[in-house]
Every structure is written in C-alpha cells, then in structure tokens.
Structure 1
Amino acid sequence: MRKARQVEVPLTEEQLKGMIRRFDTDGDGKISRKELKVGLRSLGLRFSGFRAIRALHHADANGDGVINDDEMNELAKYVSNKWGRMR
C-alpha cells in the first residue's frame, strides 16, 4: 500500500483574504490588532502579537489602527510574502 504524500499548496490572495476576514469577530468589517493577533495564533503562528503589530503597520495605509476592506489586499500580500504557505 502506497503512502499518500502531503503536498503544500500556497493559498491564493482571495483565499487568504477570506481567511483573514474570519478574524473579524465583532463583525464591524475591520480587523483590529487584537483580532489579527488572535487569528494568527489560531493558525498556529508563534509570536502572533509581534506579527500582528508588524502586519498592521505594513497594511494600515490610513493609520487608523485597523485593516479595512480597502487595505485587505495589502495585508493578504504581506501575509503571503512573509509567512509563505499557510494551510
């Protein structure tokens, strides 16, 4: 019996954005630093607080401290480039 190989496939930006949108636990349409931290931790990423701060700093174009829908593309690109393949 052959053992199945597990192949990691990078997520598309649309898949990443869908995943990140689920981090919006209060339903306001924005991702706060706390929501991003909890979401990244749920994905198994270590140092999620630090990573959330860095990602927010990178993607928060208007400086309001949250990621809105307009900034979601930049956040998805950052996550994809920084942390590569995510399951």
Structure 2
Amino acid sequence: MAIKTRNYSVDVDGKREMTVDEFARWLKRFDEDNDGRISKDELAAALRASGRWFASRKSKQGIRSVDVDGNGFIDDNEIKNLVQFAEQHLNVRILFL
C-alpha cells in the first residue's frame, strides 16, 4: 500500500516509490554545477538528503558500481544502472511501469 504525496508515493515501509524517470529527475536536483552529470559529491548529497550515514563512502561505491565509461560521473545513460543502488541506499523503490 502506498500513500501518494505531492511528487511521489511513499510505501508503508517508508520507501519513496517512483519510476525511473521520476528518480532521474529527483537525482538531477543534486546536480549542483548543472553539467548534466552526477559526481561523487553530488551523489553523497543525495545520500545525506535521504538520511543515510557514511554518504561519502557509499557515494564512492555507487559511482564505481555504475560508471560504465569510467569517467567518475553518472550521466543520463548510466542513471538506469543506479536503480539497485538507489533501492539499497537512497530509501527509494523504483517502479517499472
């Protein structure tokens, strides 16, 4: 069962439910330099906003696990690879509709 809020649903277990596109838009809010990519520090800010501890360490792990081209950033093509990381560390449940 989910409770609908303004921008997304929250499941009874407290996880935000959103589609991959909604997740990508939410994550882009942390793109502080507006370069269209998510850096390790920007991912750490998303982790902190989700109430997670050890954000720097987890963001480094997240970048390493999804950065296919090895440039140290998550771009639009790699955000979909971040789904599993998001479900484990960002208190998000990704819905595939």
> What range is the shorter-chain TM-score in?
0.7 to 0.9
- Structure 2 alignment gaps of length 5 or more: 1-10
Name the residue aligned to 2:62: 55
Structure with max Cα Rg? 1
Q: Relative to structure 1, is the Cα distance of residues 84 and 43 closer, same or farther in structure 2, using a 3 angstrom cutoff? A: closer
Deviations 1:30-86, CA, capped at 9 Å, x for gaps:
111111112211221111011101110011000000111111110133212x23743
Structure of greater relative contact order (alpha carbons < 8 Å, 6+ residues apart): 1
Give RMSD over aligned pairs: 2.2
Q: Note if contact 2:47-2:89 (Cα within 8 Å) is conserved in structure 1.
A: no
What is the TM-score of this pair, normalised by structure 2?
0.70
Aligned residues: 81
Name the CA distance, whole Å, in 1 between partners of 2:85 and 2:29: 17
**Segments ≥4 residues shifted beyond 4 Å:** none
Identity fraction in percent? 30
- Structure 1 alignment gaps of length 5 or more: 1-5
Q: In proportion to residue count, which structure has more strand?
A: 2
Name the CA distance, whole Å, in 1 between partners of 2:46 and 2:90: 16
